[in-house]
Amino acid sequence: MGLDVFDELVIATHNSGKAREIADLLHPFVITFYSASDLGLLEPEETGSSFEENAVLKAKAAAQASGKLSLADDSGLSVTALNGAPGIYSSRWGGEEKDFDFAMQKVHEELGSSQDRSAAFVCVLALAWPDGRVETFDGRVEGYIIWPKRGDFGFGYDPFFVPDGYNITFAEMNPEDKHKISHRAKAFDKMIEIFFAGKGL
Ligand code: ITT
């Protein structure tokens, strides 16, 4: 059965850049959002070995703690010449301080003189119900790494990632334009199609 709206939804993230993008994308479909920090939810340890496992564990933890439908996002940057790193460790490459200037510098240094600058952003969304049910949706956007980094929009690794077909970074793009092509937007489109096109699950 399809749904018309989610009456209320917990956005299970402690990353404010992500929370803002998720709220923008879901705006037409959700009446009340709660963020993980609104509800004082603890940040679960990401012990999974894939984006999907980590998204599921974050969504389930939030649904259990809040008793509400909860949406989590596990995402990251996968650099071809670094065998997919930082991948599921994208947040951790920012260190305790979550310093993504530092993390981008590290990617840049590890790439060295490699000719292959290709990379992709990956996102897995997990939607979890308090009864333990969980559904996942994935999205990916291909592109390449540039140096020096450019732009002030967005968050995380946006300033050095140029999506294929463009010559500006995600951090130089208006948020509305990023939302048309991003890994997160693609995963959202899958979720929205299932829930709001009357298809149901
Ligand atoms: P939560 O687990 O609380 O949601 P987090 O930041 O730890 O927050 P992840 O483990 O999913 O989340 O880490 C994803 C990291 O990948 C994130 O910190 C960013 O640095 C990066 N990232 C993900 N999506 C991105 C995007 O659209 N633009 C730039 N960087 C992104």
pLDDT digits (tens, 9 = 90+) for 26-60: 888 877 888 888 888 888 899 999 999 999 999 99
pLDDT score, position 32:
85
pLDDT score, position 4:
56
In testing the pocket of ligand 1, which one of 10, 75, 178 has its CB within 8 Å of the most ligand atoms?
75
Domains of the chain, earliest start first: 3-197 (3.90.950.10)
Report DSSP letters for 116-169, one per residue. --EEEEEEEEEEE-TTS-EEEEEEEEEEEE-SS---SSS-TTGGGEEETT-SS-
Instruction: Give the model confidence (pLDDT) of 142-183 as tens digits.
Output: 999 999 999 999 999 999 999 999 999 999 999 999 999 999
Give me the chain's average pLDDT, please: 92
Annotated catalytic residues are 74
Global pTM reads: 0.94
Residue 90, pLDDT > 50, answer yes
**Measured from the CB, is residue 153 less than 6 Å from ligand 1?**
no
**Measured from the CB, is residue 44 less than 6 Å from ligand 1?**
no
Instruction: Give the model confidence (pLDDT) of 2-12 as tens digits.
Output: 455 678 899 99
Q: Structure tokens of 167?
A: 């010559």
Which atom of ligand 1 approaches the CA of 15 most closely?
Answer: 8
Q: What is the mean pLDDT of residues 101-124?
A: 98
pLDDT score, position 52:
98
Identify whether the C-beta of residue 158 lies closer than 8 Å to the C-beta of residue 169.
yes
**Measured from the CB, is residue 139 less than 6 Å from ligand 1?**
no
How far away, in angstroms, is 180 Cα from ligand 1 center? 18
How far away, in angstroms, is 127 Cα from ligand 1 center? 17
